[in-house]
């Protein structure tokens, strides 16, 4: 199984990713850390606990992370994900709890204590990860690879050029992208091509309790119109880890714009004009039908408690 640290800001598509992560034995979840993004970190943390409770995974360590971006003022996306961040389903009050260590220290300790190198999956703003790399550079040797949802080479969802996770904390994204770690960027270039279709949602709604829960969330999700389907952004990082052959990957040097009207843009040197090296593996195409089929199968496998 793949040993993973997940950094997240649930968030409806985050909740779908966490549903897979907590139930598929091919993932070995070592830690979940939270960050301010779609909603405040108090809410994203509560939302992760709602999910560890829902899936009866009190064994999974959850640590609360950054309250705001490194430099840029914080702005949420409650207009898309609802006031709680996970609108559309009435979760039970969680009895699962956070560990008493901030996210960055929890990440450091988890990495340093691990026998093998870990995969870091970051599907919110990369604030925690940037702080980790700045404060504890010794952990880099314990990170096998980083897979992020975020960025775009083909237009943004926050501004004409910026994707939400990078736009939320561009300074953090720049630190991570220039860290020298092995980084794969799963951005809007692929996530907007692999929508959960209306047909898949009907199947999902009839499947089991998890299917019902996710259908509730997706119906409340303000991202995308029901006609085209619902974006499943963060879930793509997991499909990529399990089935990389379903994605086209190109290696580029990618810069993050941290000031001015293009703030939050990820710009690839596609003609290798300014950089001899590459720093990011960028997902540029996806087999969308395979993604829908895989996701339905993942949820169908989950047994009701
Ligand atoms: C990203 O922004 C968030 O709103 C989603 O959860 C996803 O991580 C998509 O741009
Ligand atoms: Ca997210």
What is the whole-number distance in angstroms between the Cα of residue 61 and the centre of ligand 1? 23
Q: What pLDDT is stored for residue 223 in this prediction?
A: 72
Ligand 1 atom nearest to CA at 13: 6
What is the whole-number distance in angstroms between the Cα of residue 271 and the centre of ligand 2? 30
Ligand 1 atom nearest to CA at 80: 4
Ligand 1 atom nearest to CA at 188: 10
Nearest residue to 104 (alpha-carbon basis) of 31, 44, 40, 38? 31
B/e letters for 92-131, b = 16+ CB within 10 Å, e = fewer, are eebebebeebbbbebbbbbbeebeeebbbbbbbbbbbbbb
Choice from 129, 150, 235 to test ligand 1 binding pocket (greatest atom count within 8 A of CB): 150
pTM: 0.97
Q: 84: which residues sit within 8 A by CB, 6+ positions away?
A: 39, 43, 46, 47
Q: What pLDDT is stored for residue 225 in this prediction?
A: 59
What is the whole-number distance in angstroms between the Cα of residue 273 and the centre of ligand 2? 32
- Closest-CA residue, ligand 1 atom 10, reads 164
Ligand 1 atom nearest to CA at 168: 2
What is the whole-number distance in angstroms between the Cα of residue 202 and the centre of ligand 2? 24
Nearest residue to 299 (alpha-carbon basis) of 121, 45, 54? 54
Q: What pLDDT is stored for residue 59 in this prediction?
A: 98
Q: What is the pLDDT of residues 57-98, one digit of tens each?
A: 999 999 999 999 999 999 999 888 899 999 999 999 999 999
Residue 29's Cβ-count burial label (10 Å; 0-12, 13-18, 19+) is: buried
Choice from 155, 165, 194 to test ligand 1 binding pocket (greatest atom count within 8 A of CB): 165
Q: Which ligand is nearest to the CA of 13?
A: 1
CA distance 63 to 106: 7
| Contact yes or no for 20/14 (Cβ under 8 A) | no
Q: Which residues are catalytic?
A: 233
What is the whole-number distance in angstroms between the Cα of residue 109 and the centre of ligand 2? 24
Nearest residue to 241 (alpha-carbon basis) of 122, 106, 108? 122
- Evaluated on CA atoms 262, 268, 273, 279, the torsion sign reads positive
CA distance 79 to 82: 6
SS (H, E, C) 97-125: CCCCCCHHHHHHHHHHHCCCCEEEEECCC
Q: What pLDDT is stored for residue 304 in this prediction?
A: 86
Pocket of ligand 1 (CB under 6 A): 11, 13-14, 38, 77, 123, 149, 157, 163-165, 233-234
Which ipTM did the prediction report?
A: 0.99
Q: Which residues of the chain have pLDDT under 70?
A: 224-227
Q: What pLDDT is stored for residue 138 in this prediction?
A: 98
Q: What pLDDT is stored for residue 227 in this prediction?
A: 64
């Amino acid at each position: 199984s793949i040993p993973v640290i997940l950094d997240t800001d649930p968030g409806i598509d985050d909740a779908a990713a966490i549903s897979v992560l907590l139930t598929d034995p091919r993932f070995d979840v070592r830690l979940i850390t939270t960050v301010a993004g779609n909603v405040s970190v108090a809410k994203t943390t509560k939302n992760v606990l709602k999910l560890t409770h829902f899936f009866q995974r009190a064994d999974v360590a959850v640590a609360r992370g950054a309250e705001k971006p490194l430099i840029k003022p914080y702005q949420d996306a409650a207009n898309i994900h609802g006031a709680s961040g996970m609108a559309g389903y009435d979760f039970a009050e969680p009895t699962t709890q956070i560990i008493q260590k901030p996210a960055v220290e929890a990440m450091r300790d988890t990495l340093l204590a691990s026998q093998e190198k870990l995969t870091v999956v970051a599907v919110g703003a990369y604030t925690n990860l940037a702080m980790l790399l700045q404060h504890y550079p010794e952990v880099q040797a314990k990170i096998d690879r980083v897979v992020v949802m975020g960025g775009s080479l083909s237009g943004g969802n926050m501004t004409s050029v910026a994707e939400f996770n990078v736009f939320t904390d561009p300074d953090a994204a720049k630190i991570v992208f220039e860290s020298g770690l092995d980084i794969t960027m799963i951005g809007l270039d692929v996530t907007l091509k692999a929508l959960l279709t209306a047909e898949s949602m009907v199947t999902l709604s009839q499947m089991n309790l998890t299917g019902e829960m996710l259908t509730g969330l997706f119906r409340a999700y303000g991202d995308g119109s029901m006609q085209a389907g619902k974006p499943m952004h963060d879930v793509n990082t997991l499909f990529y880890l399990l089935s990389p052959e379903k994605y086209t990957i190109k290696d580029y040097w990618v810069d993050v714009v941290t000031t001015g009207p293009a703030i939050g843009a990820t710009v690839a040197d596609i003609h290798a004009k300014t950089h001899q090296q590459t720093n990011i593996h960028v997902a540029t195409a996806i087999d969308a039908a395979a993604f829908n089929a895989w996701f339905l199968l993942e949820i169908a496998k989950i047994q009701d408690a």
